[in-house]
Amino acid sequence: MDLSSFLTSLGTSFLIFVVLMFLFTWLSRKPGNTVVYYPNRILRGLDPWEGGSMTRNPFAWIKEALYSTEQEIISVSGVDTAVYFVFMSTVLGILVLSSIVLLPILLSVAATEEAHKLADASVSNGTFSDLDHLSMGHLKEKSPRLWAFLVGVYWVSFVTYVLLWKAYKHASNLRASALMSPQAKPEQFAILVRDIPDVPEGQIRKEQVDSYFKTIYPDTFYRSLVVTDNKEVNKIWKELEGYKKKLARAEAVYAISKDTGKSEGTRPTNKTGFLGLCGAKVDSIDYYTKKINELTPKLEAEQKATLREKQQNAALVFFTSRVTAAAAAQTLHAQLVDTWIVTEAPEPRQLLWRNLKIKFFQRQVRQYVVYIIVALTVLFFMVPIAAISAFTTLENLKKLLPFLKPILKQKAIRTVLEAYLPQIALILFLAFLPKFLLFLSKTEGIPSLSHAVRASSGKYFYFTVFNVFIGVTVGGTLFSTFKTIEKDPNSIVDLLATSLPANATYFLTFVALKFFVGYGLELFRLVPLIIFHIKRKYVCKTEAEVKAAWFPSDLGYGTRVPGDMLIITIVLCYSVIAPLILPFGVLYFGLGWLVLRNQALKVYVPSYESYGRMWPHIQVRLIASLILYQVTMFGYFGVKKFVYAPFLLPLPILSLLYIFICSKKFYHFFQHTALEVAAHELKEIPNMEQVYRAFIPPSLSSEKLNHDQFEDAQSNVSRTAASLA
């Protein structure tokens, strides 16, 4: 790629960004769009435009984002989001500090090297372009100028170490101050107990759990909540809620028809069959009312049956003290280690109820099976794609879906399909990958959503780094280069090192595209905007339906982080080879910070809180990227026949040591709550009844069911609780 085409590509991306920015500024000021651009504020009951968003200045949002404090982010979007910004700003810091030193020095060292034609292919795809003047590939073999680049690698590494250390400390403090907050959260008073042994004869599960914990914690045990199999009751409850919504909708339609048409209105009707397309035609309001009246007693019966008969081998146990709960969650309770396994209780909203009953050794087996599947997916991800492509040839399609025949006979469509079918398969696969990984992570038996998201995010990172970065660089997938590597396992580093410079401009464009178009679209929210307007116009009839149409999603760092990690991996690996990539990295993370700050403050609503548990995962993977960078650079200095290349060898060792020290110094606190943190004073004695109720799933909570009726799965208040109330 020569300079002009590179600049064209860059210019196009920038243009798209400017257009998107303009559209955002224009559309976000229309009152009808506030729910798309300020849903978070509206949900918090604030004026969407407070603070000057409505002024003439189209860049007011930038100012707002810049002046927002970390405390605001935590109060609006939680510690997890704050930690995500710690990550963004740390990476930004690393890249800025690297740029300041590397850009002036390395570019001038490279540019002043005498021009020479290189025989090997270490310049961009053989064409000698202006950009290559400014990269390490331009240097002669064994040139003493390579020393500058070697020192550059050290500089980048040390900047990373120092800033990541500070960031770990910062994240740890954020977590601590959230956990020691005087406003206690329900999950801080609860622990999750799994693998409860079989109920002894003559006892019920509730008695078993209560007597076990009462013996150990005579003073602080409050009560327990036995986990039940809620599948059936959830189904009925969902059905009931669905009918309630449909009834509300039918009533709204009827009301509208009264206003617009005949005075007595048209009573809406619907068909009772499949998807409302077939079956007998009935009056909607009557039909849904009847259904609701039928289902309500059924739900109540099922609730009772669930609580009595569908108790499982897991329970939530509540304590009246935050310290006891924190200590109980990290201590061994049973002599047989695979029974009575305790963990911190996750937030009620992110409990994965269905996983709780899975037994310890089954969890282990599931985990390893999932790891194997993921490893195979990462390494051989092209195989299913190829299989799908082979399967979805036109001939096969014709056979399987004969009704497509007439369409496929058209020459133009034929050509396009033949060319793009494999690509479509690939794109679909990549689009479903995060969901697939999340599904796999949930299958492991993880008890909370945030943990499952972390696990799948980690898996996704390995996938992107292996397949996108190494895959693109080496040219093809790892799978296809296995033959080379098999002969000599060390060749992977050489292979990577020789292929890197050739792809420098490709990745430069990739990063630029990613931030200009990606963050432009993020800010502009094109898809939510369109969907909302369509829904509001054609689908939504009730207030609740409209709210559901604009209700914002989570920030979704589970998929964001791997994407960002890919960028930082690319930028790090090229930071010394082609320092020109650094400003692009700075722009990516700077712009990202700005745009997402805006989105976190105004758009997204957190769907769970894990108190920054994501951070250690991010940190380890950042260092993994750094090690990849250091090893690759060692290989590349080898390619340049620089005899002092072994001076780079201490770096990967240092990085491993660094991970080790960090994990020993900080990690344990991200696994457990430190008692000194939990021991901070509370503003008021918590209402234990509320704490307890917070964990009852909506399908099981009912005003009609009082305690005496469902004492089976939800135990009575203990004597100590009475004395505290």
Where on the chain is the footprint of its own copies (CB under 8 A)? 172-173, 176, 212, 215-217, 219, 323, 326-328, 330-338, 340, 360-361, 364, 661, 664-669, 671-677, 679
| Local structure of 643: helix, strand or coil | coil
Contacts of 524 (CB under 8 A, 6+ apart): 20, 21, 23, 24, 27
Residue 337 CB, nearest distance to its own copies (Å)?
A: 4
* Separation between Cα atoms, residue 295 and residue 408, nearest integer Å: 48
How far apart, in whole angstroms, are the C-alpha atoms of residue 566 and residue 515? 13
CA distances in angstroms from 68 to 11, 94, 211, 524, 604, listed in the order given:
31, 22, 50, 20, 16
* Nearest-angstrom CA–CA distance, 342 and 328: 7
Q: Which is nearer to its own copies, 172 or 464 (CB)?
A: 172
Smallest gap from Cβ 581 to its own copies, in A, equals: 36
Report the candidate in 84, 12, 65, 13 with the shortest Cα–Cα distance to residue 518: 13
- CB-CB contact of 199 with 309 (8 Å): no
From the CB of 222, what's the least distance to its own copies, in Å? Answer: 17
Q: Which value, to the nearest 10 degrees, does the dihedral of the CA atoms of residues 709, 715, 721, 723 take?
A: 60
- Nearest Cα neighbor of 269 from 260, 238, 293, 279 is 279
- Count CA atoms within 13 Å of residue 108 on its CB side: 5
Contact 362, 355 (CB under 8 A): no
User: Please, which residue, 345 or 573, has the CB nearer to its own copies?
Assistant: 345
R_g of the chain computed on alpha carbons: 30
Contact 213, 342 (CB under 8 A): no
Q: Nearest CA to 286 among 262, 251, 260, 252?
A: 251
Residues 209/711, Cβ–Cβ less than 8 Å:
no
Question: Shortest distance, CB of residue 675 to its own copies, whole angstroms?
Answer: 5
Minimum separation from the CB atom of position 338 to its own copies (A): 5
Structure tokens at 123: 């310049």
With respect to its own copies, which residue has the nearer C-beta, 334 or 421?
334
Nearest residue (CB) to its own copies, 366 versus 672? 672
Of 6 and 213, which has the nearer Cβ to its own copies? 213
Residue 547 dihedral angles phi and psi, to the nearest 5°: -60, -40
| Beta carbon of residue 172, minimum distance to its own copies (angstroms, whole number) | 6
Least distance in angstroms from the C-beta of 539 to its own copies: 50
- Least Å from the CB of residue 2 to its own copies: 51
Q: Which is nearer to its own copies, 74 or 508 (CB)?
A: 74
Q: How far apart are CA 656 and CA 500, in angstroms?
A: 24
For the CB of residue 572, give the shortest distance to its own copies in the complex, in Å.
Answer: 28
- Least Å distance, CB 371 to its own copies, is 14
Sign of CA dihedral 119, 122, 126, 127: negative
Q: Which is nearer to its own copies, 133 or 617 (CB)?
A: 617
Question: Which is nearer to its own copies, 363 or 602 (by Cβ)?
Answer: 363
Task: Report the residue number, 57 or 671, with the smaller CB distance to its own copies.
Answer: 671
Find the angle CA(132)-CA(134)-CA(518) to the nearest 5 degrees: 80
Residue corresponding to tokens 């290559």: 132
The strand pairing partners of 282, in sequence order, are: 270
E strand map for 506-640: none
Structure tokens at 127: 């064409």
Residue 260 or 335: the one with the smaller Cβ distance to its own copies is 335
Neighbours of 368 (CB within 10 A): 11
Question: Considering the complex, what minimum distance in angstroms separates the CB of residue 625 from its own copies?
Answer: 24
- Per-residue CA distances from 629 to 93, 119, 613, 624, 641 (Å): 18, 25, 26, 9, 18
How large is the angle between the packed helices 382-391 and 478-487, nearest 10 degrees? 130
Beta carbon of residue 416, minimum distance to its own copies (angstroms, whole number) = 51
Task: Give, to the nearest 10 degrees, the angle between helix 614-639 and helix 70-111.
Answer: 0
Q: Could you tell me the smallest distance in angstroms from the CB atom of residue 201 to its own copies?
A: 19
- The CA distance from 62 to 594, in Å, is 7
Which CB sits closer to its own copies, 367 or 542?
367
Min dist CB 199 to its own copies, Å, is 16
